[in-house]
Chain A
Amino acid sequence: NAGVMQNPRHLVRRRGQEARLRCSPMKGHSHVYWYRQLPEEGLKFMVYLQKENIIDESGMPKERFSAEFPKEGPSILRIQQVVRGDSAAYFCASSPSSGAFDTQYFGPGTRLTVL
C-alpha cells in the first residue's frame, strides 16, 4: 500500500506564474488536508477536502489560492500569480474517513521556490 504521494517534490516558479501541486492520498483514504510550512516553523493548516467537497478552507488565503479533490485523480492545490512569500514546503496528509481518531499520514511535501 503506497503512502501519500506528492508531486512535484520541488517546484521553481517566477513571480506571476502559476503553481500546481498534486497529492494522491493513501489507498482507501477519502480525506485530504493541505498544510504550509515555512523554514523552521510549524505546520499551518490551509484546507480540508473530501472527494468533490471542500470541508474547511479557513486557513487558505482567499485570493490566488484554490484547492480541489475531484472524484477521480489527485487533489490539487493551485496558487495563481505566485509571489516570493509563497515560497514554502507544502504538505498534504490523508486520512481514511471522517470518523474520530483517524490518523493523518503525510506526503513527502512539495518545496516551492518563487524567484
Chain B
Amino acid sequence: GENVEQHPSTLSVQEGDSAVIKCTYSDSASNYFPWYKQELGKRPQLIIDIRSNVGEKKDQRIAVTLNKTAKHFSLHITETQPEDSAVYFCAAQNTGNQFYFGTGTSLTVIP
C-alpha cells in the first residue's frame, strides 16, 4: 500500500518568514495530494490540493509543489502569521480512492 512520510514533525518560524513542509509517497499511481490544517481541538480543514497533472499550485500565501518523478510534494507558506500556527497534514490518494496521511507537522509562528 501507500506510505506517506512527512517532515519535519515540528517547525518554528519567526512571523513573516516562510515555512516549508515536505512529504514523500511510495505509490507512483497516487494522483491527488491534499493538505489539511488542524487547529487544536478542531477538525482538519483542507487548505490546498494538487493533482498529479500539475506541478505547482498557489493560493495567496500558500503554495504546493509536486515532483512526480521523485514522488515528493511540499507545502510552502510565505509571510507567516501567528494564526498559521497549527498542525499540518499531507495526504496522498491512490487509485483505490484511499487516502494516506502523513504524521503531521506542528508549526509555530513566533510573533
Q: Tell me the residues in window 26-47 of chain A with beta carbons closer than 8 Å to chain B beta carbons.
A: 31, 33, 35, 40-45
- Of the listed stretches B13-21, B58-66, B67-75, B89-97, chain A binds B89-97
Report yes or no: B43 in contact with A42, Cβ–Cβ below 8 A.
no
Tier of interface size on chain A: 20 to 34
What chain A residues lie within 8 Å of B45 (beta carbons)?
A: 106
**Using Cβ atoms and an 8 Å threshold, which residues of chain A touch B95?**
100
- Interface size range of chain B in the complex: 20 to 34
B43-A91 in contact (CB<8A): yes
Q: Are A104 and B99 in contact (CB under 8 A)?
A: yes
A106 to B39, CA, bound (A): 13
- In this complex, which of A42, A100, A102, A105 has the most chain B Cβ atoms within 10 angstroms of its Cβ? A42
Q: What separation, in Å, do the CA atoms of A44 and B98 have in the docked complex?
A: 12
